[in-house]
């Protein structure tokens, strides 16, 4: 799930690099009202887009235990939403927001974070706590001036199965790959290997398998 100020066409070189350097299939998701997609851009519609993309991946024959959801910036919203409601193998959050309101304001006892918590769009902290089975890999630049570095830290700490994060020194909101390209792909590849190992452990644990069946 891409960021706000882009579309799947602009992201094509990145998606191609994912496929080439990681050896994966990429299902690019265009939000309603973005790029060549019809409809209206809205938070609710991104959730519908996420569900439709998941269903399409399954229709194409990809098992749930091989699906890794990747969300960048605002795209972390539909990514966390989906991982809280559908079985996935792993979650990657790239320069993510902890929540919509948190991305616009600071804390404090009278902060809108608390006053309007029930209306918070993309409340990723709450959604991430619902995901108990998929490892979560957070990537964030420590010089991010759009979405503070603290958001990445909060999400890493909220994850039930946190994977060692990648804090990119000197990187801002939109230049993580350019700042640390080799490390970025190396760490992503290591995370995907970890996800496969985690899924193998699940399938060989009868208690976990039984619990997963009950949840579905």
Cα of first residue to Cα of last residue in the chain, in angstroms, is 24
Which one, of 106, 56, 97, lies nearest residue 76 by Cα? 97
Query: Is 173 annotated as catalytic?
Result: yes
CB neighbourhood size of 95 (10 A): 28
Given a contact cutoff of 8 angstroms between Cβ atoms, the answer to whether 132 and 177 are in contact is: no
Between CA 70 and CA 56 the distance in angstroms is 16
Instruction: Give the active site residue among 2, 140, 151, 173.
Output: 173
Which residues does residue 141 pair with via DSSP β-bridges, in sequence order?
Answer: 168
Residues 62/67/147/153 CA torsion (nearest 10 deg) = 180
Instruction: Give the active site residue among 2, 73, 133, 156.
Output: 73
Between CA 124 and CA 105 the distance in angstroms is 16
Query: Is 2 annotated as catalytic?
Result: no
Query: Is 37 annotated as catalytic?
Result: no
Instruction: Give the active site residue among 49, 65, 120, 144.
Output: 144
Active site residues: 73, 144, 173
């Amino acid at each position: 799930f891409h960021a706000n100020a882009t579309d799947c066409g602009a992201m094509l070189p990145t998606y191609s690099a994912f496929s080439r350097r990681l050896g994966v299939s990429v299902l690019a998701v265009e939000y309603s009202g973005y790029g060549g997609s019809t409809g209206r851009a809205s938070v609710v519609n991104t959730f519908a887009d996420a569900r439709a993309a998941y269903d399409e991946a399954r229709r194409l024959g990809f098992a749930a235990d091989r699906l890794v959801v990747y969300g960048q910036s605002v795209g972390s919203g539909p990514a966390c939403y989906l991982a809280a409601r559908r079985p996935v193998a792993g979650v990657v959050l790239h320069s993510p927001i902890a929540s919509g309101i948190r991305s616009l304001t600071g804390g404090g006892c009278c902060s809108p974070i608390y006053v309007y918590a029930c209306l918070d769009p993309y409340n990723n902290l709450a959604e991430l706590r619902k995901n108990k089975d998929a490892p979560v890999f957070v990537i964030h630049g420590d010089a991010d001036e759009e979405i503070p570095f603290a958001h990445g830290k909060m999400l890493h700490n909220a994850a039930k199965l946190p994977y060692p994060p990648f804090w990119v020194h000197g990187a801002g909101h939109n230049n993580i790959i350019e700042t640390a390209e080799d490390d970025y792909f190396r760490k992503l590849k290591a995370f995907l290997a970890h996800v496969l190992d985690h899924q193998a452990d699940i399938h060989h644990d009868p208690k976990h398998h039984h619990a997963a069946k009950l949840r579905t």
